[in-house]
C-alpha cells in the first residue's frame, strides 16, 4: 500500500447530550478498501460524514493528501450516500450527464455507463430501474469525476443476493483501478470480501483495527460451534465455555473441540443441529461490541 491519502486525527464530535465520536484516529493508504464497521449508534456514520466534509468536527481533523480538507478534496472525492434524491423524468444517461456537468474534469458519460454495466439501460427512465440497477446508477454518479477517494455508505442495503454480488464485482473492478474506497456496511460477508482493512467502532471509539484475517487470528480460537438458541438449555450457560449469544443462536469458541463436545454431551445439550465452522468477521463484531448487526 502507498502513503496515506486520508488521515483522521483525534476526531471528536460532541452533541449536547452525547459524545458521538470520542477521539478516533486512523489513516487510509491510497489504493486500500477501508471498512468502518459498528452497531447503530457506535459513531461510524458521524465519523464518515465528518470525513466526507458534511459535518464539522468538535475537535480533531481530517487530512487529505497531507493537507486539511479543501477544494481539492471536494473535487476528487465521490460519495454514494445511503439515500439520494435524483431528478425525475431523466434517463440514466441524462442523470449521469447532469452530475458530470458539476465537475471540471472526470470520466466521459459513455465510459461511466460501461464501467457500471449500464449501457443497455442508458435510455431508460431512471424511475423504472430495479433496486440493483438504481444502485449501479448511483455508483456511476459517484464516479463521474473519476474520484481518487470513493465513499460507499451501506451500498447494498435492501438488494437481493444476486444484485449484491453483482455490485461487489463492480467494486472489485473499481479497486483494480487503484482507487481508495471507504466502506460502511452491516453485511460482514461484504466487508470480509472487499476490505483490505477494517476498523470496528463502539461507543464512539475504535475497539479493533486491522486486516480481517489478522483480527480473526488474534481474537479467536481455531473453531467455533454454533447451536440454535432453543437447543441450548439455560443451565448450560453455567458450563465453563466461551459463549457468544446472538438473537437466534449460541456460539462457542474453543481450541479443544473434542473436550467441548464431551462437556456438551455430559450436560445433555442436544447436538443434532450443531454446526462447526471457522470464525468470521460477524463473530468478531459480536464478540467486541456485544450487539447484533441491526439492533
> Is there a contact between 136 and 116 (Cβ–Cβ < 8 Å)?
yes
Residues 6+ positions from 15 with CB-CB distance below 8 Å? none
Residues with Cβ within 8 Å of 26's Cβ and at least 6 positions away in sequence, in order, are: 7, 8, 34, 199, 206, 209
Q: What would the mean pLDDT of 120-133 be, rounded to a whole number?
A: 93
Cell 459513455 appears where?
Answer: 110
Q: Average pLDDT for residues 90-95, to the nearest whole number?
A: 96
Asked if residue 1 has pLDDT above 60, the reply is no
Of the pLDDT bands very low, low, confident and very high (cuts 50, 70, 90), residue 295 is: very low
CA distance 129 to 84: 14
When pLDDT is cut at 50, 70 and 90, the band that residue 294 belongs to is very low
Distance CA 21, CA 15 (A): 10
Residue whose C-alpha is closest to residue 88's, from 121, 129, 119? 129
The CATH label, of 3.40.50.1460, 3.40.640.10, 3.30.70.980, 1.10.357.10, for the domain at 221-278 is: 3.30.70.980
Domain 4-211, second-level architecture = 3-Layer(aba) Sandwich (3.40)
**How is residue 232 written as a grid cell?**
441450548
Per-residue pLDDT, averaged over 72-81, amounts to: 93
User: Residue 276 corresponds to which cell in the numbers above?
Assistant: 462447526
Residue spans of the domains in the chain: they are 4-211, 221-278
Mean of pLDDT values over 163-181: 93
Across the chain, mean pLDDT equals 91
Quote the pLDDT of residue 200: 95
pLDDT for 220: 77
β-partners of residue 249 are 228
pLDDT in tens, 216-266: 888 876 788 999 999 998 888 889 998 888 778 898 888 888 999 999 999
The pLDDT tens digits for 24-48 are 999 999 999 999 999 888 999 999 9
CB 109 within 8 A of CB 96: yes
Q: Closest Cα to residue 34, out of 209, 197, 210?
A: 197
Q: How far apart are CA 96 and CA 109, in angstroms?
A: 7
- Neighbouring residues of 87: CB distance < 8 A, sequence distance ≥ 6: 95, 98
Amino acid at each position: 500500500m502507498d502513503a496515506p491519502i486520508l488521515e483522521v486525527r483525534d476526531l471528536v464530535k460532541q452533541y449536547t447530550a452525547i459524545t458521538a465520536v470520542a477521539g478516533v484516529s486512523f489513516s487510509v493508504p491510497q489504493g486500500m478498501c477501508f471498512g468502518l464497521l459498528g452497531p447503530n449508534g457506535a459513531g461510524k456514520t458521524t465519523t464518515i460524514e465528518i470525513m466526507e466534509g458534511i459535518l464539522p468536527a468538535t475537535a480533531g481533523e481530517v487530512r487529505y493528501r497531507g493537507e486539511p480538507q479543501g477544494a481539492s478534496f471536494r473535487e476528487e472525492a465521490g460519495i454514494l450516500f445511503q439515500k439520494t434524491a435524483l431528478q425525475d423524468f431523466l434517463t440514466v444517461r441524462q442523470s449521469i450527464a447532469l452530475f458530470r456537468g458539476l465537475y471540471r474534469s472526470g470520466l466521459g458519460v459513455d465510459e461511466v455507463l460501461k464501467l457500471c454495466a449500464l449501457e443497455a439501460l442508458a435510455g431508460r427512465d431512471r424511475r423504472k430501474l430495479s433496486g440493483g440497477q438504481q444502485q449501479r446508477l448511483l455508483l456511476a454518479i459517484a464516479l463521474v469525476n473519476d474520484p481518487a477517494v470513493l465513499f460507499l455508505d451501506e451500498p447494498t442495503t435492501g438488494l437481493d443476493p444476486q444484485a449484491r454480488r453483482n455490485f461487489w464485482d463492480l467494486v472489485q473492478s473499481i479497486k483494480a483501478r487503484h482507487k481508495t474506497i471507504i466502506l460502511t456496511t452491516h453485511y460482514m460477508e461484504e466487508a470480509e470480501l472487499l476490505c483490505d482493512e477494517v476498523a470496528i467502532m463502539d461507543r464512539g471509539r475504535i475497539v479493533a483495527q486491522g486486516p480481517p484475517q489478522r483480527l480473526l487470528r488474534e481474537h479467536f480460537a481455531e473453531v467455533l460451534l454454533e447451536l440454535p438458541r432453543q437447543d441450548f438449555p439455560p443451565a448450560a450457560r453455567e458450563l465453563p465455555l466461551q459463549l457468544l449469544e446472538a438473537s437466534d443462536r449460541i456460539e462457542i469458541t474453543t481450541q479443544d473441540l473434542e473436550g467441548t463436545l464431551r462437556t456438551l454431551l455430559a450436560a445433555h445439550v442436544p447436538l443434532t443441529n450443531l454446526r462447526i465452522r471457522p470464525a468470521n468477521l460477524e463473530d468478531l463484531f459480536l464478540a467486541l461490541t456485544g450487539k447484533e448487526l441491526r439492533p
